[in-house]
Amino acid sequence: MKKLLLFTALISFCFTVNAQESKFGVTAGYQSSSFKVSGAGLDISTDASGYFVGFFAQFSVSETFSIQPELLYSSVSDDGESIGDIIIPVMLKFHLTDKFNFMAGPQFDYITEDDAEGIKKFGMGLGFGLGYDISDNISLGARYSIGFDRLDDEGEDVGDASFKINIFQIGLSYSF
């Protein structure tokens, strides 16, 4: 897991060295999270909604391709229970036109407030989505992230049980 994160950071750094144009900005919006535990005689799922806020950098590699690492904080709640999450997506953006883009890439997350015992707080997934540039500085984006299975906090497989978090986000971004 640490090797994958380091590899992704190194790849991002290599592209930034050759970047033609860089943008930095802030982003915020609505988030809906789906939590699912299944297997081993369990089938539990719940949805929670809330918000996300954070920072991003966008490094252009060519006219049609850029890399956008982000650092986000999200908070979702359901029935008085809230979960905080630090999310680090590294989106590869393909600019389809001057205004529209498609993005996909790995997403790493760390649960900061979790009462579930035995579940590893670090997870990863695959995110993908669409973006629309309203102006040179303001963008609208929608993204869905599919979480991979989390292991227990000892790094062991949790048997036949599976725990996944899927995330839908829609938000606005402002670049400087």
Q: What is the pTM of this model?
A: 0.81
Class of 2-175 in CATH: mainly beta
Per-residue pLDDT tens for 59-102?
A: 999 999 999 999 999 999 888 778 889 999 999 999 999 999 99
d(CA 119, CA 42): 15
Give the distance from CA 106 to its chain's centroid: 7
d(CA 137, CA 130): 17
Per-residue pLDDT tens for 131-150?
A: 999 999 999 999 999 998 66
